[in-house]
Structure 1
Amino acid sequence: MIKQRITNHRLMKRIWQHKLFYLFMLPGIVWFFLFSYVPLYGIQVAFRDYTFVGGFTGSPWAGFKYFEQFFNYYQSGDIIRNTVIISLMKLLIGFPMPIILALLLNEVRKLKFKKTIQTLSYLPYFVSWIVVVTLMQRLLTPYGGPVNDLLGSLGTESIQFLNNPTWFYQMIVGSDIWKNIGWNSIIFMAAIAGIDQQLYEAAKMDGAGRFRQMWHITLPGIRNVAIILFILAVGNLMSAGYEQLLLLNGPATASMGSVLDVHAINSGIREGRLSYAAAVGLFQSIIGLILVLTVNRIARKVSDVSLF
């Protein structure tokens, strides 16, 4: 008991010594509490026959009725499979890309050129998916689009890139990488900047070239950051990105592009089945939590790096 009081006293003393840092953390803590924890009260919508009149507590209890409806839905298996396939492709192909970009930018010695590439690469992150898809439609259309005009000038037939099952996954993954690669690389650039420069000087003295320095110093230096971000990315494996799929999916690709996010949005907003949509969303969150806990445990055993 006395030992616990001493520990608590030391903790409070440290907090008071660094009170300004905790004060800077306060807006973020308040934001997370208001927008991430308070809405958890609405989880009960998935277990009720929700109506606007009854509200959260006045609507009749439904139990697992809407979960059963989803799993009994004849397309539920296809929807889950499509979500996992698209998310896995984004994870396996898209996750290493910011690391590669950060490593390449780190090797650029001309500062002006480096800053220009950085700016151009992360600008698409601030562009909405509506604008991105509109640009893709204008550029890739076979009816006067510049890409197909270029292919035609080279003697190649026009290609229907959008709403085409053959090119569907390439368009989804490619546009996602183009939009997010620059912004995601900022974290790895910051991690690289924190590596002790004396390690590079020692490697040069030992005769190591730039590639060996990258392999033996830079990559190990950002390993912990990459593992943490990978764990968080795995948690989004059941979320393929509703806005992108909602805009790029069409009648010809419906069998490939129907994912949980779009299904939940359509059910909740278009059809007004709020309890059903909440059940689908809760299912996504539970699977995501299980994946994060599992991968986090594996990472802690394999590399001693974990979220908690």
Structure 2
Amino acid sequence: MYMAASLLWKKIWKHKLFYLFMLPGLVWFFLFSYMPLYGIQVAFRDFNYMGGFTGSPWAGFKYFKQFFDFYQSGDIIRNTIIISLMKLLIGFPMPVILAILLNEVRNRRFKKIVQTVSYLPYFVSWIVVITLMQRLLTPAGGPINDAISLIFGMEPIKFLNNTTWFYQIVVSSDIWKNIGWSSIIYMAAIAGIDQQLYEAVKIDGAGRFRQMWHITLPGIRNIAIILFILATGTLMSAGYEQLLLLNGPATTAIGSVLDVHVINSGISQGRLSYAAAVGLFQSFIALILVVSVNQIARKYSDVSLF
């Protein structure tokens, strides 16, 4: 065992510069991902500020039971899963498609313009995005409704705070905001594909579509599987800011999700133990999903996180 430890330290010292580059990321994860785990115990205590984390009395599974006894808990969980599934199934392929299409563009200037335009929404806060959507989609003089009335002669449509259009607005705005940034990884994976493979299939008479199908897609397959496994961990997290801003009285029945419920319970109502319990429930289900999908991916594709 001593020899193994000695050999490990020798390898670390040999590649010390690489580990030095990793150090800021490791410190960040330790400070913001691992140290806060100490506070998980709040979910099992009747937390009060006088007692703190360790001085508050134990409550066991009291707050977990409170959540499942809450008359809207089933609806909240169902809404979260529905919205998250729609984002995953519809939104996940979009960055792949964008990356492949951009790879086929031969005009470098046009390609850079499209990339820049698609990246920019990621850096805009949801508050700005939702405000922009409100201005564009309002039935009282919004340009979208004005165009619909002018071209089709239809009455103005109330897109926002409308159960008919709620899911479409949520999913489409999420895709628009994240598609460019998410495509960066796939663009990098495509850039790493051996160009000789393309030359070889060209000699065999393969067109652009067949090159895309037989070379590009298999070349990014492993990356796509890894990212899909990670994405399944978000099935219990539909997105706090977006749903908080888009959801209204008319869409509460289909727009109330766990993320907003946790924040409202913890911050607005001061029920920190209850909010921690619900948040821990989210994380526990996410862990089960990631491990399960990882095992399925390992069995059928030989690609996995661990």
- Give the TM-score taking structure 2 as reference length: 0.99
Match in the other structure for 2:144: 147
Give the equivalent residue in structure 1 for 2:193: 195
1:166 aligned residue: 164
DSSP-derived class of the 1:222 partner = helix
Where does 1:165-184 land on structure 2 (aligned, <5 Å)? 165-184=163-182
CA distance in 2, matches of 1:35, 1:262: 21
Q: How does 1:275-294 map to 2 (within 5 A)?
A: 275-294=273-292
Say whether 1:135 aligns with 2:113.
no
Corresponding position of 1:13: 10
The residue that corresponds to 2:207 in the other structure is 209
1:128-147, CA deviations, whole angstroms, 9 ceiling, x for partnerless residues?
A: 00000000000000000000
Measured after TM superposition, the shift of residue 278 of structure 1 is 0.3
Give me the whole-angstrom Cα distance separating, in 2, the residues matched to 1:282 and 1:92: 25
What secondary structure is seen at the aligned counterpart in 1 of 2:139? coil
Q: Distance in 1 between matches of 2:7 and 2:199?
A: 40
For structure 1, which runs of at least 5 residues remain unmatched after alignment?
none
Which residue pairs with 1:269 in the alignment?
267
- Name the residue aligned to 1:91: 88
Match of 2:63 among 59, 62, 66: 66
Offset, 1:13: 2.1
Aligned to 1:56: 53
Query: Does residue 31 in structure 1 map to residue 19 in structure 2?
Result: no
- TM-superposition CA deviations, 1:192-248 (whole Å, max 9, x none): 000001100111111111100100000000000000000000011000001100000
2:203 aligned partner, one-letter code: M
Match of 1:230 in 2: 228
* Cα deviation digits, residues 12-58 of structure 1 (max 9, x gap): 22211111000010010000000000000000000001011110001
Q: Tell me the CA shift for residue 148 of structure 1.
A: 0.4
Q: Aligned with 1:50: secondary structure?
A: coil
Residue 91 of structure 1 and its aligned partner are, at CA, apart by: 0.2
| Cα distance in 1 for residues equivalent to 2:52 and 2:194 | 57
| Structure 2 residue matching 1:109: 3-state secondary structure | coil
Q: Distance in 2 between matches of 1:163 and 1:67?
A: 31
Deviates further, 236-245 or 13-22: 13-22
Distance (whole Å) between structure 1 residues aligned to residue 207 and residue 21 of structure 2: 42
Could you say what secondary structure the match of 1:156 adopts?
A: coil
Give, as a single letter, the amino acid of the residue that structure 2 aligns with 1:289. Answer: L
CA RMSD of aligned residues (A): 0.7
Corresponding residue for residue 106 of structure 2: 109
Q: Which residues of structure 2 form unaligned runs of 5+?
A: none
Q: How far apart are the structure 1 equivalents of 2:196 and 2:259?
A: 48
Give the match's secondary structure for 1:235.
Answer: helix
Letter in 2 for 1:137: Q
Paired amino acid for 1:117: V
Query: What letter matches 1:288 in structure 2?
Result: A
Residue type at the aligned position of 1:189: M
For residues 93-121 of structure 1, what are the alpha-carbon distances to aligned partners after superposition, in whole Å with 9 as ceiling and x for unaligned? 00000000000000000000000000000
Distance 2:218 2:227 in 1: 15
Shift of 1:157: 1.6
Determine what percentage of the aligned residue pairs are the same residue.
Answer: 80
* Structure 1: distance between partners of 2:11 and 2:221: 30
What letter matches 2:303 in structure 1?
V
Aligned residue for 2:199, secondary structure, equals: helix
User: Per the alignment, in what secondary structure is the counterpart of residue 307 of structure 1?
Assistant: coil
What is the DSSP-based 3-state SS (H/G/I as helix, E as strand, rest coil) of the residue aligned with 1:272? coil
Q: What TM-score do you get using the length of structure 1 for normalisation?
A: 0.98
3-state SS of paired residue (2:234)? coil
- Match for residue 240 of structure 1? 238
The 1-side partners of 2:4 and 2:212 are apart by 43
Deviation at 1:8, TM superposition (A): 3.3
